[in-house]
Amino acid sequence: MYKYYGDFMHDKAVKLYAELAEVAVNSFLISKDSPMVEPIRIHIGVEENKEALRKSRGEEDEDFQILEYQAQKGNAGAMYKIGLFYYFGLRGVRRNHAKALWWFAKAEEKGEPRSMELLGEIYARGLGVERNYTKALEWLTLASSQQLVSAYNGIGYLYVKGYGVEKNHTKAREYFEKAAENEEPGGFYNLGVMYLKGLGVKRDLKVACNYFALATDEGRPKAFYQLAKMFHTGVGLKKNLPMATALYKLVAERGPWSSLSRWALESYLKGDVSRSFLLYSRLAEMGYEIAQSNAAWILDKYGEHIVCMGESGICTDEDRHKRAHDLWWQASEQGNEHAALLIGDAYYYGRGMERDYDRAAEAYMHAKSQENAQAMFNLGYMHEHGQGLPFDLHLAKRYYDQALEVDPAAKLPVTLALASLWVRKNYADSFLVHVIDSLPSFYPKVEAWVENVVIEEGNATILTLFVCLLTVLYLRERQRRHGAAAAMAPPHQPVE
């Protein structure tokens, strides 16, 4: 994401993400990682992501209702899962700590040990219930007795802070070591913090880094946060602001703003696309790639139905195109290949801006570097026609072949494109080539006649290539017949 800010913005970017990451870390569980609440991408390419949206309807989702029915019938595992959904706000379910507490307690009564650890978390944080560190320690101790080694981290945390017990760094370290001995990443992280700060041990930055590295190997976000701070300040590691920014951002995206993403999704599901766009735009400003692409897609999809504010009031069409372009560009900078492809299309077709084949080629190259078959095909087409790239039939063929290698579903358009190349190579500057090149401009005049034949943008190209294939088949058949006729002709008789 630091590329999005530019090299000259590292200082500002690292400060912003450091603040967001700190908020995120403070929201994490004390004993183990919180599950990642994945933001939903509401589109796949240019189409709505219907399957993901179906699974994000929370309590209205059929799968959730089946799970709830199983829980009501006494299934302890189902009770625990529903408690997780309410506690963390998973699968589109709104967070409700009181309901989570109720389901965890029910699951524990049925002998579900994992619920004990979460009950300890709830009482330690006072979520949905009055905070009670004594009860938290009881539940965490009970969970650890059931071989849930991550609970040792929660117990150690209480001893480090002196919550419900007398502060004792030695005991805390012993519990963290028990977790680490069982390869629990939270144990590695907590020991790293103790060596970093010299809590109950002699301060040793090298040992702290080693423990953080072990924790990051298991994806522990708190460990990434500590390494980010070390890169940021130059304490224990060589100062590196780009690396610090990237790590802070990784942690920040695990923060509590997932609820904002949820509100944006709920608004979209209810048909309030304007509110959804505004919420996704807010998240986009914070650097969330999925929010950037969702906001851009809504702008492209719903256009004038969106309440969008421009420089001089309500957005004009030009304002919307520019805003969508900026959002797609930001998303592409974070590795969204579809975003890079759409930017290329915008420049190629002159949608919302002046047509610019050079910039289109640049954007397609960016998407191609991420193994996007459509971008490879487009680059081949541009080489074939000398649009924004040198006219080069060999390179065109190479890109067409690469597109087919990456995506076997591209067989039809690639076959048609290769047919076009054959005609262009063997009948250069002929009437046939001129006919083929004129088809895209002629196509709009007959579009109504071939309505619903091909509905994707770029259908003029597909129609052109299809005609090329028919032409190639005709020419090859004519060559074959001429060859056969020549072979059957009687030999000339010598003149006596």
Asked whether residue 378 is domain-assigned, the answer is no
C-beta separation of 261 from 283 below 8 A: yes
Q: Which two tokens stand for residue 410?
A: 């591209």
Nearest-angstrom CA–CA distance, 424 and 35: 56
- pLDDT, one tens digit per residue, over 8-27 is 456 777 887 888 888 878 87
**DSSP β-ladder status, 309-310 and 47-48:** unpaired
Closest CA to 185 of 387, 355, 33: 33
Q: Is residue 394 part of a domain?
A: no
Helices (H), 27-127: 50-54, 62-72, 76-88, 97-109, 114-125
- Residue 284's nearest CA partner among 311, 318, 314, 257 is 257
In a domain? residue 23: yes
230 lies in a domain? yes
**pLDDT on residue 189:** 92
Q: How far is the C-alpha of 146 from the C-alpha of 152, rounded, in Å?
A: 11
Is residue 339 one of the residues assigned to a domain? no
Tens digits of per-residue pLDDT, 456-483? 445 556 556 666 665 655 555 555 555 5
pLDDT in tens, the chain (496 residues): 334 444 445 677 788 788 888 887 887 766 555 555 567 888 887 678 887 777 777 777 788 889 999 999 999 999 999 999 888 877 778 888 899 999 999 999 998 889 999 999 899 988 888 999 999 999 999 999 988 899 999 999 999 999 989 999 999 999 999 999 999 999 999 999 999 999 989 999 999 999 999 998 888 888 899 999 999 999 888 999 889 988 988 888 777 666 677 788 888 888 888 888 888 888 888 778 888 888 888 888 887 666 665 555 566 777 777 888 888 888 887 878 788 888 888 888 887 678 889 988 888 888 888 788 888 999 998 998 888 899 898 998 999 999 889 888 888 888 888 888 887 887 777 666 666 666 555 544 434 433 444 434 455 565 566 666 656 555 555 555 555 554 545 554 444 3
Torsion region of 296: left, alpha or beta (phi above 0 gives left; psi -120 to 50 gives alpha): alpha
For residue 313, count CB atoms less than 10 angstroms from its CB and return exposed for 0-12, middle for 13-18, buried for 19 or more: exposed
CA dist., res. 481 & res. 195, Å (int): 85
Separation between Cα atoms, residue 427 and residue 423, nearest integer Å = 6
Q: DSSP strand E in 192-279: where?
A: none
The residue length of the chain stands at 496
State the residue range of the domain holding 173. Answer: 2-252
- The Cα–Cα gap between 249 and 244 comes to 8
Quick check: helix, strand or coil at residue 186?
Answer: helix
Q: Is residue 492 part of a domain?
A: no
Question: Which CATH number covers residue 196?
Answer: 1.25.40.10
A 10 A CB-CB count for 482 gives: 10
Residue 52 lies in a domain: yes
Question: Is 33:87 a contact under the CB 8 Å cutoff?
Answer: no
DSSP 381: H
Name the residue among 191, 211, 195, 212 with its Cα closest to residue 203: 195
Query: Quick check: 381 and 388 in contact, CB under 8 A?
Result: no
HSE of 344, CA atoms in CB hemisphere, 13 A: 28
Query: Residues with Cβ < 8 Å from 414, sequence gap 6 or more?
Result: 377, 400, 401, 403, 404
The structural domain count of the chain equals 1
